[in-house]
Structure 1
Amino acid sequence: MLPPRFLFPPSLIVAAASVVSLTSMANIALLEIRGRPLQYSKFSEVGSGSHNQNAATRKKIVLPGRTGMLVAYTPAFLTGAASFALFPDEGLRFLLLKSAITIHFLKRILEVIFIHKYSGGMPVDSMIVISLSYFITTAIMIYAQNLTQGLPDPPIDLQYPGIILFLIGISGNFYHHFLLSRLRGNTMKEYKIPRGGLFEMVICPHYLFEILTFWGIALISQTLFSFCFGIGTTWYLMGRSYGTRKWYLSKFEDFPNHVKAIIPFIF
């Protein structure tokens, strides 16, 4: 069976990794929808078993939220940065992919340090899972791209639309993260309904733009793994946005009903 005209032909290893990635992210998305999110934010309070979950969390080793997220993102960033030395001259597409991945995780690290405000901690086990997930995904994405060297480009070239989509996604994600950071007053436990930008239409525009970011990377890469990760990220963040909207509905009686989770007017 020939691969689609917009993908490089995958190796057996890449195909297997793609299936595992897609399956695992679909499972996490279902957990988010069922009210069992990863325990690193206030949204872990959502769900019928939230009291037991919070009691279990208190028994775990918990790091400050900022420290936990720095550890979660740094290995993936270092992997992206190291790929410039490991694969120095492998063409424009590979350069664009390495740059996009490295810029994405560098942005996340800078936001953790200078933008985000944290109301709680992160259990060490959650931090390890997230860190390994980002690290392994980044490494496989770069490895899959390396395997395409010497192959002709797919008949349908999507790398330039991918650049545009990536830039839109990363810019929109940063802007709405900045708006979120301005909601907090001097009290770190203070929460408000977000306003401004696409917050007037959806409660998670930062997730929407993150999806666009990873689809931009997928279009730049045009490997099976990058496309499967784009699909998995879409499922996961749609599930997480559903849980986020549910949290706001539980906390604010005046939450506007017209504000959807992640897709304006639809979901």
Structure 2
Amino acid sequence: MPAPGPYLWLVLLELALAVATVVGLRFLTAPYGRHGRPGWGPTVPARVGWLVMESPAVLWFLIVYLTGAHKAAVVPLVLLTLWQLHYLQRTLVYPLLMRTGARMPVSIMAMAIAFNTLNAYVNARWIGDLGHYPTSWLADPRFLAGTVLFLGGLAVNLDADRRLRRLRGPGETGYRIPHGGAFRWVSSPNYTGEIVEWFGWALATWSLPGLAFALYTTANLAPRALANHRWYHEQFPTYPPQRRALLPHLL
């Protein structure tokens, strides 16, 4: 548990945002991607939006981490590598592979920037400065299980994104039913994978800020997975009935 003070309040703020997010997303679906719609103000190309809004998770995280007392320690460096493995892909690679023409409301981008700035700070400050991770932590079952979950979730996430991109040929628009991989069981395995990733991070770091991020990710992505699942059924009468939205055989 972080010591009382401004840092703890920032972590508690993230937990409160998770609650507010899951409540708010019961009544509306964020207007980007297949759920894009007018009425949310000016927009930017989706590629630009993703690059800008995810950048704090790479750059600000690194800056905060490098101010920490444990920045050169082995375990914090391993945790830094895991974090950057996800966010370098999400910030630099993912936008470049997006289809051209898609747009994103500036309001969505701004909210993501604010959250990523907060989240990067509390997690980087913890692993680089406030947390205690002796080298023996690399053999701790919590670290090992968390790392397996993180890398497994990342693999599911990347595979799902690849399958979604391949649904369209050059110049094609519109949506199709995705198949293969974890799409055999759920409609949004990209979200399932990302949620698993960050619960793996929470376990590997064994920290309140890590748990706050995992809970926020679930609060943000689970409602969207449910919305995607409804959308698929509305758009495709032959949509596989055995699929669930997020968790195989459960949800």
**TM-score, L = length of structure 1:** 0.83
Partners of 1:32 and 1:243 within 8 A in 2: no
Alignment of 1:116-195 (within 5 A): 116-117=98-99, 120-145=102-127, 146-149=129-132, 158-187=142-171, 189-195=173-179
1:238 aligns with 2:222: yes
Task: Tell me which of 34, 38, 41 is aligned to 2:33.
Answer: 41
Partners of 2:43 and 2:103 within 8 A in 1: yes
Q: Distance in 1 between the 2:66 and 2:224 partners?
A: 36
Alignment of 1:65-76 (within 5 A): 65-76=46-57
Once the two structures are TM-superposed, the CA of residue 39 in structure 1 deviates from its matched residue by 2.2
3-state DSSP of counterpart to 2:169: coil
Once the two structures are TM-superposed, the CA of residue 170 in structure 1 deviates from its matched residue by 1.2
Structure 1, unaligned runs of 5 or more: 1-8, 45-53
Q: Distance in 2 between the 1:177 and 1:55 partners?
A: 25
Count, aligned residues:
246
3-state DSSP of counterpart to 1:56: coil
Partners of 1:201 and 1:260 within 8 A in 2: yes
Question: Which residue of structure 2 aligns with residue 226 of structure 1?
Answer: 210
Task: Tell me which of 58, 78, 88 is aligned to 1:96.
Answer: 78
Question: Which one-letter code corresponds to 1:198 in the other structure?
Answer: A
Once the two structures are TM-superposed, the CA of residue 42 in structure 1 deviates from its matched residue by 1.7
Alignment CA distance shift 1:184-1:150 (3 Å): closer
Q: Distance in 1 between the 2:47 and 2:168 partners?
A: 16
3-state DSSP of counterpart to 1:33: coil
Partners of 1:15 and 1:224 within 8 A in 2: no
Question: Which one-letter code corresponds to 1:147 in the other structure?
Answer: L
Question: Which one-letter code corresponds to 2:15 in the other structure?
Answer: L
**RMSD (Å), alpha carbons:** 2.5
Partners of 1:18 and 1:229 within 8 A in 2: no
1:26 aligns with 2:26: no
Question: Which one-letter code corresponds to 1:163 in the other structure?
Answer: T
Once the two structures are TM-superposed, the CA of residue 25 in structure 1 deviates from its matched residue by 2.0
Structure 2, unaligned runs of 5 or more: none
Once the two structures are TM-superposed, the CA of residue 245 in structure 1 deviates from its matched residue by 0.6
3-state DSSP of counterpart to 2:51: helix
Once the two structures are TM-superposed, the CA of residue 102 in structure 1 deviates from its matched residue by 1.4
Partners of 2:62 and 2:124 within 8 A in 1: no
- In the TM superposition, structure 1's runs of 4+ consecutive aligned residues that sit over 4 Å from their partners are 149-154
Q: Distance in 2 between the 1:120 and 1:207 partners?
A: 20
Q: Distance in 1 between the 2:158 and 2:190 partners?
A: 8
Partners of 1:119 and 1:189 within 8 A in 2: no
Question: Which one-letter code corresponds to 1:11 in the other structure?
Answer: A
